[in-house]
Structure 1
Amino acid sequence: MTDTAASADSTAAAPWVDGTPPEQRRVLFALVLAQVFSGAGLAAGITVGALLAQDMLGTAGLAGLPSALFTIGSAAAAVVVGRLSQRSGRRTGLATGYAVGAVGALGVLLAAVADSVPLLFIALFVYGAGTATNLQARYAGADLAPPHRKARAVSTVLVATTLGAVAGPNLVTVTGSAAAAWGIPPLAGPFGLAALAYGAAAVVLVLLLRPDPLLLARELGAVEQEIQGATDSSGPLLPAAAGLPAGVRLGAAVMVVTQAVMVAVMTMTPVHLQHHGHGTAAIGIVIAVHVAAMYLPSLLSGWLVDKYGARAVSALAALTLLAAGLVAGLAPAGAVWALALGLALLGLGWSLGLVAGTTLLSRDLPLHSRARVQGNVDVLVAIAGAGGGALSGVVVAGASYTALALGGGVLALCLLPLVLRRRPPGSSPFPG
């Protein structure tokens, strides 16, 4: 990495120089365990949310609303979790977010039983807190990591989501049958699993996320400043985009675009499959492949970012999303294998973009404003996802799934000018 990798957070890593602190291993263990649980909760809503809405609303044109609602809820929760983490540490912020997500999942279950659309909308909004928290956990993994290993720390947390996220969609039929036995609509069953999963993640973090990585990083940074004779650690809170480092602005843009494309195409794939005669088992397989591709390659994404730089990997993310749009959009009607391949590429592109963008935010933000700004950036990411989810149903109803997938691929290409611009003469095309 050639741009300013050693920003204020390098002070936190300084006591270990190039090594990994022992506290970081304990932090990663707690985060990995929590992410295994939360992955199941996250995948439940992805798999059946659009189908449940279509069933309760009676139209496919509004099937993108669940994704939009819990993504808007994710945006609101990102602010709260970020501010709680800034003030009280990652443990408090993340555990609270997962607990609220569990309450939202229970609300969706009750809405399905009562056949109440207003309650469904409210509950989906609250359920979004789990999505926000699942993503913000990646920042906690990087707080204590040395600068040259931040991407791999982020990817370690993300890859842990794979186990639960892959299991979740494949439990759709089982949880649906269990729900039906209790007189609950089968499509609401996975949200019962989500409530248990998010609740378990919250308990794990309360009990095991010790020391708190952000609070410890601050302490270590303060000690290093004192050794170096620094006296002013109260710099600006970076409230405006113009005041943010260039790397942070690029990281935010990468995550916003990749999230919008991924959510839009992912949201309507179950509806597309259902319209071509496939049941929940086939839908669960395709979504499981997609979610696995979102998280399982994270270790590769982290290694690529640490070795070749976040800008190069951001460009690779854009090209991968274009390939995803082409494969999914041009697939034979209802071909499960082709859609699974397209959704796998979609997940991989998202993984590359998320790890690259997160690394830029984690290395270029000072500790005194890190969690707050990260939460604010995640709001933009969530809003982008909400827009993609809300518009996806409209695009498919007005045009086609093919148009949606190809349009997403073209949108991803907008990242390339951002990655390549403002290069010093003679520099690498992909610095840092």
Structure 2
Amino acid sequence: MATDLTAPRTARPDVASIQRRTLRLLFGTQIIGGVGVTIGIAVGALLAARIAGTAVAGIAQSAGVVGAALLAIPVTRIMARHGRRPGLVVAYAVGAVGGVLVVLAAATRWVPLLFLGMLLFGGGTAANLQARYTAVDLAEPTRRGRQLSVIIWATTIGAVAAPNFAALADRVTTGWGLPPLAGPFAFSAAAFVLAGGVLLVLLRPDPLLTARRIAATAAPTVAAPTTTVPTTDAPAAAVVAEAPAVGGQVGGDATPAAAPIGARVPRGAGMRAVWSVVRGQPAARLGIAAVAVGHLVMVAVMAMTPVRLGESHADADVLRLVGIVLSLHIAGMYAFSPIVGWLTDRLGRRAVILGGVGLLLAACAVAGTAGHHTPRLSVGLVLLGLGWSGTMVAGSTLLSESVPAGVRPSVQGLSDLTMGLAGAGAAVAAGFVMQVAGYPVLTLLAAVATVPLVALALRPVPTGASDEEG
């Protein structure tokens, strides 16, 4: 039955109020979850070395990275069907189970249980990564980059606080009878439970479902007057009609529509259908490539920097220097992300991606030619973090706004899977290159890895397409 266009429509939700509430919740839970994740990273390799030996300590750490990448797919499928809230809660719950299993592995010294626990522990990372996409479901086109970057920036607080919590948790839980270094993972599990519980109770209405409902309500007014307008808070039908994006020029970039009016995309589609959507959207391909390549270069260079420092400093000094250099690197990654987000909205997504690549190339040049000059190496690592921030913030923003809402979570899951596997592969390859050819060659190869991304970002914009879609 045709919809009476003269009849009063369901009241449009107060999007600005919902978005402010969502950002506050995400900011708080990102800090809590970030503490949980960083504690595990801080002591995971040490615990693995005690249980299984130094030779497999790095593999245990990689298990957490791979776990986060693999969990991105089922988590985003849950989001595609049921919304952001259940997906984030499940991811944190899996991370909490992983933390408990690591504690049990420390108590029993059972290596397979340790690897399984570290694999599931990656659920905390998966939740933290997906939170950045949740931040832009209801964001205004001119503020997407800034609001996404604020959620990334919140991770800085957790990363800075976590080492202190790790030491405290280890002291407290050792008194409870837990093995040394197991306590921090118990604390991580508790942090994940707290973050997931807060989201379960308070992340209402769900931002993704609200965005879909608004899109489905707006579409019939323009192109499909015979479509029934959904009026409940439940997910829209499995096939969602997309409305055009609202907004115009943003720093010289046209804000792309999520999909043509009336376009229909199945939610919860498999990876083949998801890839077909990405393949048909040049902007989505650029977004995924920016996130993955930026992460690959960052991990490859960062992972071998402690080894480089160990070549020229005594054991008594190397841990202190590693802590200082990596702290500066983390500051470059997260501390300036709000500025990167502002530039993303002001100058455009493509421009900031290219700027991020430029910083990555500068980082490789500075770090690769630093020799054993630690201050210069530190500058290189700061530039490396800034370059990663540029490709991550601008790439994630571009990806989120270039695909239809119905398939958006699945595409974002594909992006996080690609990023995680790229980082894990880079870490493994970097160790081999470092042993065979040395740190300067590693930084050179990392710089070369940016060439396909530069070519994709500089690809001419087709006539009639927006700048972001070209």
d(CA) in 2 for partners of 1:314 and 1:151?
A: 12
Given that 2:283 and 2:469 are in contact with CA atoms closer than 8 Å, whether structure 1 keeps it comes out as no
The aligned counterpart of 2:39 is: 44
Q: 1:28 to 1:172 in 2, by over 3 A?
A: same
Q: 1:423 to 1:67 in 2, by over 3 A?
A: farther
Q: 1:47 to 1:286 in 2, by over 3 A?
A: farther
List per-residue Cα deviations over 1:124-164 (Å, max 9, x = no partner).
11111111111111111000011121111211211111111
Determine whether 1:265 maps to 2:301: yes
SS of match in other structure, 2:41: helix
Matching of residues 17-416 of structure 1 within 5 Å: 21-59=16-54, 62-178=56-172, 186-230=180-224, 231=227, 233=241, 235-237=264-266, 238-241=273-276, 243-270=279-306, 272-273=308-309, 276=313, 277=315, 278=317, 282-333=321-372, 335=374, 337-416=375-454
Q: CA deviation at 1:252?
A: 0.5
Most deviating of 277-286 and 312-321:
277-286
List per-residue Cα deviations over 1:47-70 (Å, max 9, x = no partner).
34344445544445x554234311
SS of match in other structure, 1:144: coil
Q: 1:97 to 1:147 in 2, by over 3 A?
A: same
SS of match in other structure, 1:354: helix
d(CA) in 1 for partners of 2:57 and 2:97?
A: 22
Q: CA deviation at 1:257?
A: 0.7
Q: 1:190 to 1:286 in 2, by over 3 A?
A: farther
d(CA) in 1 for partners of 2:183 and 2:328?
A: 21
Seq. identity, %: 44
**Residue type of the partner of 1:169?**
P
Q: 1:334 to 1:407 in 2, by over 3 A?
A: same
Given that 2:73 and 2:414 are in contact with CA atoms closer than 8 Å, whether structure 1 keeps it comes out as yes
d(CA) in 2 for partners of 1:156 and 1:312?
A: 20
Most deviating of 202-211 and 137-146:
202-211
Given that 1:91 and 1:206 are in contact with CA atoms closer than 8 Å, whether structure 2 keeps it comes out as yes
The aligned counterpart of 1:10 is: none
Most deviating of 366-375 and 21-30:
366-375
Q: CA deviation at 1:219?
A: 1.2
**Residue type of the partner of 1:123?**
G
Q: CA deviation at 1:267?
A: 3.2
Q: CA deviation at 1:171?
A: 4.3
Structure number with higher relative contact order (C-alpha < 8 Å, ≥ 6 residues apart): 1
Q: 1:375 to 1:157 in 2, by over 3 A?
A: same
Q: CA deviation at 1:428?
A: 11
Most deviating of 24-33 and 362-371:
362-371
SS of match in other structure, 1:240: helix
Q: Which runs of 5+ in 2 are unaligned?
A: 1-11, 228-239, 242-262, 267-272
List per-residue Cα deviations over 1:87-123 (Å, max 9, x = no partner).
1111110011012112212322332343332222111
Given that 1:325 and 1:407 are in contact with CA atoms closer than 8 Å, whether structure 2 keeps it comes out as no
d(CA) in 2 for partners of 1:268 and 1:318?
A: 20
The aligned counterpart of 1:3 is: none
**Residue type of the partner of 2:411?**
V
Given that 1:106 and 1:191 are in contact with CA atoms closer than 8 Å, whether structure 2 keeps it comes out as yes
Q: 1:172 to 1:331 in 2, by over 3 A?
A: farther
Q: Give the paired residue count.
A: 414
With structure 1 as the length reference, what TM-score do the two structures score?
0.85
Q: CA deviation at 1:314?
A: 0.9
Q: CA deviation at 1:222?
A: 1.4
d(CA) in 1 for partners of 2:437 and 2:51?
A: 23
Most deviating of 33-42 and 222-231:
222-231
List per-residue Cα deviations over 1:4-48 (Å, max 9, x = no partner).
xxxxxxxxxxx79xx961111011111111101111122223334
Q: 1:410 to 1:183 in 2, by over 3 A?
A: farther
d(CA) in 1 for partners of 2:164 and 2:359?
A: 26
Q: CA deviation at 1:387?
A: 1.1
d(CA) in 1 for partners of 2:377 and 2:393?
A: 24
List per-residue Cα deviations over 1:251-271 (Å, max 9, x = no partner).
011111111222233334445
Q: CA deviation at 1:359?
A: 1.0
With structure 2 as the length reference, what TM-score do the two structures score?
0.79
Q: 1:389 to 1:44 in 2, by over 3 A?
A: farther
d(CA) in 2 for partners of 1:349 and 1:157?
A: 18
